[in-house]
Every structure is written in C-alpha cells, then in structure tokens.
Structure 1
C-alpha cells in the first residue's frame, strides 16, 4: 500500500478537513483549565466540551477526530504543551533527559492557529524534541536564507548534537551573510511559491514513529500566518516523503 504524500498546502488542507472534539474532564475546583483550553482550541471545526469528575482526581483530555482513533491525554501534559513557557535554554539540558511528558501520547493529534507566538513555541518544541532524541532528520523551510541565518545558534547546536538538517528556502540572502556549513546540513533553494510562502518544520522521529511531528504555516499576508501542526506519524511521513522527492 502506497504512503500518502503531502505537500505543504495539501497538509494544511488535510488538517483543515479533520473536525475535532476536545472533551476536558476536570474536578469542580479546576474549571479554569477549560477556559484555558478553549482559548487555545476554539478555532473553526473544533468543539470544546467539559465534563466534571470528582475532586482529587487528575484531569484529562479526550480528543476525538473524524476518521481517527480516540486519544486520551493527561491534562497536565496538554497544559504544559500549550503554556508557551518552554525555556529557551533547552540546548543546555543534559543529554539523558527524557522527551517531555507534554508531547508524549499526542500522536494523531492536529492543531491550527493564527497565533504566531503559539506557532513559534511549537517550532521550539519540535526543535527541542529533535535535540533530545539526538539523531534523525529535521526538515525546515525558512522562506528566505536570512531567516535561517538568524537561527544559526539553534541549528549549530542541533547539528553538533547529531541531528541532520535539510534547510529549504525560496530565495538566497545577501552575499554578505556568512552561510552556516556542516557535513550534516543540506541547502535546498528553489524560487517556487511553496518555499517562498510557507514556513515549516518536519522531524522524522529518528526512527521512532511516535516522535514524528510537523508544523506548516502559510503566509497569507505580509507577516500574517495561518499554521497547522500535527503529531500524527502518517501525516508527518507524508510531508517528509514529499520534500525528499521534490527537492
């Protein structure tokens, strides 16, 4: 059976087509959690529901999406993932630290947002995951070379850690920009719309399917993005397959 392949645009379309229902199970004294999640998930095609559980029990979230299995995730994990409080010092973490519990068990879960800050946080979470695993390939679309060079420190750390990086962009920067060079870094430059108009990251999981994750953000107006991201291994694999075959 052939694997489904997704371009950046078709991945956005696929995630847009999936209707999600998120049910938050919380004790009466933690109802603020529902408000927090509604703020993050209250986008079109997403329904947020609340169910009360006895005081003292740990809250959890049940995610249902058309055509996909039901997923249950601890409330604490989801809140940590969406808090935007991930430290910028992840590059200094010990190499034996486990993958954050906030992202474990979120495979097959998809999100979307117009919030650029949330998308930047998700990019950092994907980069952090690749750093913690320490191998595999991270495919990154920066639109312009200057945007990639602005992240030099982050990507030097990833490359030093052992991660292979494929960088995609629709245009080169100034000749004065000193290009980062490394044996595990490849540049793919092509002046086509999907490399000029899309910002994306896709991590192949380093051979571990449940570690796969991806984000695609479309620039719909100057500096204004609509983004989708997913932990569904099949969607991530489809995007990676497209990028490898096309560029």
Structure 2
C-alpha cells in the first residue's frame, strides 16, 4: 500500500492564490499570519470612514470571491460560540474555507483547526446522510468532543472515529472506533465528509509539526475527499 495520510499533505500541488485585504488601516498581524499559507498577500487602503473591510481571493486572473475581514479574523481567533461543543454552528467560516480550499497552511493552533473542523461536522449534520470520518490522534481528544459525536450519531450518518491508543470510556452509540498503536493516526488530525451528494463533500487533514501546531489543508474537491476516505477504509477499517 503506497498511500498514506502524509502523502495527502506532502503531495498537494495547488496553484498559488492572491489574498487582497481592503481596509482603512492594515490589520497589524494579518499579513504575518497569512504569510504562513501558500498565498500572496496584498493590501489596498480604503478611505477613512469606509465601511468594514473585506478580503478578496484570486487564483491567477480568476476572481474566486470575497468575504468580510471579520471572517478572516474569526478563523485565527475563534470565538467561544464556534467552539461550543454543545451547539454545532452554521457556516460562519464556510465562505472563507471554500475560497481557501486546497491551499496549504503551515502553522495552525488546535483551536483554529477545531473551528474549521466544526464547519465540516456541521455540514455533515445538516446534510444528515453519508460517511463522516474523524481522526482525533488521542482518545482524550475524542472524549472532549463526545457530546458532538453523540449528536452526530443520532442522524443517518455512518460515523467513524480514529485515534492512536486505547478507548477506556463507554462506547459512543452509533459511532465506530478504529485504533492503532504507534502509527499514522497519532500524528494526523483529519475529518472527512463523504456524502451521497458529491457537491457536499469536504475534508481537512493536518499533520502535527510541533506540539499543538499543525500544517495541512482542507478541500471541497470530491475526488480528493473520496481518495482520503478510500485510504481510511483500506488502512484502518478493512485492513
């Protein structure tokens, strides 16, 4: 078997994108944070007194879209509401995630990844059918998200969770656990939604580079999502 979770991150070759920030004053640290992505960052000053800022994303000559500047800030500084395990949220980050899909990031903290992960989980919850595969690295991480996965399992989703280690808590009804010891599951954070409708497919995968610091990407490409789920089935479900 030549496929691996590491290959999904190392082999990504997405075209470089240009992010232009429009604001009356440049955000003090936004350019530094975006510099850790596979993007070019530009700033275009708006006149004083202008409406709230926004960002646009282009790939070559193609305009991909725009989002309010606050959406970018929310990704880097997630609010408590986005991370509320009792209430899956409804798409505050989704437009930004779609504009930056298949774009490599080099340094994300756990809370930022959790905010992006919650968007994928919420999409799966709203759609309600298909397969949801989530890698937690360690059983303690799954325990912290138990209430979310109890709720997801009450839908018609086929929910699979993965981690390196031993699950000593009570099983989560409707959730299938896959474990290993000293393998790739302990090094990668991932979530993949493979629905019955390809247009809803999405996934995130990130490798832990330093403690609680991750590099990776998310994608809305159905073929890429199917490839990830096929690998998980072969390596950790059927293998």
Is TM (by shorter chain) over 0.5? Answer: yes
- CA gap of 1:167–1:121, structure 2 versus 1, over 3 A, is same
- Listed one character per residue, the Cα deviations across residues 51-102 of structure 1 (whole Å, up to 9, x for unaligned) are 2356656644232457x95411222544444440151447557xxx9x4253
Greater fraction of residues in helix: 1
> What is the CA–CA distance in structure 2 between the aligned matches of 1:59 and 1:212, rounded to whole Å?
30
Alignment check: 8 A CA contact 1:138 1:204 kept: yes
1:71-220 matched pairs, under 5 angstroms: 71-76=64-69, 77-85=71-79, 87=81, 88-89=83-84, 91-92=86-87, 99-100=90-91, 102-104=93-95, 106-107=97-98, 109=100, 110-112=103-105, 113-174=107-168, 177-182=169-174, 185-191=175-181, 193-205=183-195, 207-209=197-199, 211-220=200-209
State the secondary structure of the residue aligned to 1:172. Answer: coil
**Residues 35 and 41 in structure 2, CA contact (< 8 A), matched pair in contact too:** yes
Question: Aligned with 1:136: secondary structure?
Answer: strand
Whether the aligned pair in 1 keeps the contact of 2:204 and 2:219 (CA below 8 Å) is no
Q: Deviation at 1:152?
A: 1.4
Q: 1:82 to 1:73 in 2, by over 3 A?
A: farther
Unmatched segments (≥5 aa) in structure 1: none
Q: Does the CA contact (< 8 Å) of 1:81 and 1:103 recur in 2?
A: no
Shift of 1:35: 3.6
Change (3 A) 1:52 1:22: same
- How far residue 37 of structure 1 moved from its aligned partner, in angstroms, is 3.2
SS at match of 1:127: helix
Aligned counterpart in structure 2 of residue 40 of structure 1, from 33, 43, 48: 33
1 or 2 for the larger relative contact order (CA 8 Å, sep ≥6)?
Answer: 1
TM-score (norm 2): 0.75
How far apart are 1:156 and its partner, in Å? Answer: 0.2
Conserved? CA contact 1:149–1:179, under 8 Å: no
CA shift, 1:190, in A, is 3.1
Task: Verify the 8 A CA contact 2:37 2:104 in the aligned structure 1.
Answer: no
Alignment: residue pair count:
228
Structure 2 counterpart of 1:232, from 191, 207, 220: 220
The 3-state SS of whatever aligns with 1:153 is helix
Match of 2:10 in 1: 13
Tell me how far apart the structure 1 counterparts of residues 215 and 53 of structure 2 sit (CA, whole Å): 28
- Deviation per CA, 1:157-210: give whole Å up to 9, x if none: 111233321112232234xx222232xx2222233521122121112255252x
Stretch moving more, 13-22 or 233-242: 13-22
Structure 2 gaps, min length 5: none
Indicate the SS of the match to 2:167. coil
What TM-score comes out, normalization by structure 1 length?
0.73
